[in-house]
Structure 1
Amino acid sequence: MVKSFAPTEDTRMAEFGTSESRGEARTVAILDAALELISEVGYERVTMDNIAARAHASKMTMYRRWPTKSELVAEALRRHAQGDVPSVPDTGTLRGDLLATVAEIAETLTGERGPSLIGLAEAIRDDAALREQVSSQVRERSHQVGREICARAVSRAEPVHANRAEAVLDLAFGHLFTATLFDGTKPSLVDQRSLVDAILLPLLSPTHTSAP
């Protein structure tokens, strides 16, 4: 007779870790498939069926996590632009943090590969659900960054109008989006620095003087 043994705590943790890893790999495959298909045929022609087939995933699994295509695509765009756990740049100064954040926003708008927010501007305009998902994510992220940057400045004893944090980051995003849309490319490093020194930093720092 073969003895049966109850699984140990280590065994259960290993099994959980393996299951969690498989789940994350499946998520990545689905989100990557969505971005690939959007690049190939456009947002409007992509369906949940297409994405499931490309990712070799169950539609039931997809719908449990993302009830609509717009929710799935919005998360795919966020992960593509910022990674799974986006961090707020910490350079040691308010100006440095703003420069790093502006560079991050500029990259989010264009991206290195796959669809970008600029490339999906028409779909965002026409699809109310996608528009709501993307705008919510963008505002939430921008406001989080603004609050954290200002909190760090306060902790460093840098003078800062912390109550302006969210409005200033909204302004930064709007400026970069418009510039990228009209110029067809992300703003240069010189333009990004000008945005920070001439507009954002003076609004946040009452004692700011422009950098040379």
Structure 2
Amino acid sequence: MSRGKPREIAILNATIELLQMHGYQALTIDSVAAHAHASKATIYRRWRNRVELVKAAIDAFDQQRNESIPDTGKLRSDLIAVLETLRDTSTAPYLAMINDLIAASKHDRELAAALQVHVSDEALSPFRRVLARAMARDGLEAAGCEDLIHDVAEAMIIRQVQLERPFDDAFIFRVVDDILLPLLEIYLRPGNSLYKKDPPL
């Protein structure tokens, strides 16, 4: 690991912590530098302004989350692991931070553009990585389904949270067994079957 890497991680973690504690409007380069025990010069050498720093921080948060998702050896349990990880990281402070950034972006074009790039970054989708791994492992081919799986699962999670319904095991199993696996089955090439490789029950 390079000498700069631990310092960069500390700065990005400090940015997330301050966003969760005080919100975007209160975030400054000075406050991040103080919280991370870094100099402003160190931050400005890597990020030109607050928006670039925030985008880098939420990118890093998602990357770290995705790397924590285990390879269970089966597609069904892989998908369950993704949803469990999303549930574990969707804490009240995290959700408040996301809502605050969305609200702030309505009055900040640069922030809005940065959030759009973040949301559309395929590399940050936890489903894309897990599906690619599972398809290679199980010898299945379902090209073109990754974005749809991500969008459908995300929409169901957002609706569940907005309606203040529990993001519990029953919800996770319903999403995987009743929605995602049948949807993936449609995309499989002839001769392949998810259920032959990985029974849902």
Relative to the length of structure 2, the TM-score reads: 0.74
110, 113, 135: which one aligns with 2:91: 110
Does 2:64 correspond to 1:64? no
Q: How does 1:158-169 map to 2 (within 5 A)?
A: 158=140, 161-169=142-150
Please report how far the alpha carbon of residue 40 of structure 1 lies from its aligned counterpart in structure 2 after TM superposition: 2.9
Greater shift in the superposed pair: 173-182 or 149-158: 149-158
31, 41, 45: which one aligns with 2:12: 31
Aligned equivalents of 1:93, 1:202: Cα separation in 2 = 16
Does 2:72 correspond to 1:94? no
143, 150, 174: which one aligns with 1:194: 174
1:67-118 CA-partner distances (Å, limit 9, x unpaired): 232222233234345428826642222212211122223334337xxx4145
Gaps of 5+ in 2: 187-192
Counterpart of 2:21? 40
CA RMSD of aligned residues (A): 3.1
| Structure 2 residue identity aligned to 1:105 | L
Does 2:106 correspond to 1:124? no
Greater shift in the superposed pair: 41-50 or 160-169: 160-169
Residues 122/186 of structure 1: CA separation in 2 closer, same or farther (3 Å cut): farther
Aligned equivalents of 1:164, 1:58: Cα separation in 2 = 44
Aligned equivalents of 2:85, 2:65: Cα separation in 1 = 15
Aligned equivalents of 1:39, 1:202: Cα separation in 2 = 37
Aligned equivalents of 1:147, 1:57: Cα separation in 2 = 33
Please report how far the alpha carbon of residue 194 of structure 1 lies from its aligned counterpart in structure 2 after TM superposition: 0.5
Gaps of 5+ in 1: 1-16
8 A Cα contact 2:13 2:57, kept in partner: yes
Aligned equivalents of 2:26, 2:76: Cα separation in 1 = 43
| Structure 1 residue identity aligned to 2:178 | A
Counterpart of 1:12? none
Please report how far the alpha carbon of residue 150 of structure 1 lies from its aligned counterpart in structure 2 after TM superposition: 4.4
Please report how far the alpha carbon of residue 25 of structure 1 lies from its aligned counterpart in structure 2 after TM superposition: 2.3
Residues 208/116 of structure 1: CA separation in 2 closer, same or farther (3 Å cut): same
Of all paired residues, the percent bearing the same amino acid is: 31
Corresponding pairs, count? 188
Please report how far the alpha carbon of residue 151 of structure 1 lies from its aligned counterpart in structure 2 after TM superposition: 5.5
Relative to the length of structure 1, the TM-score reads: 0.71
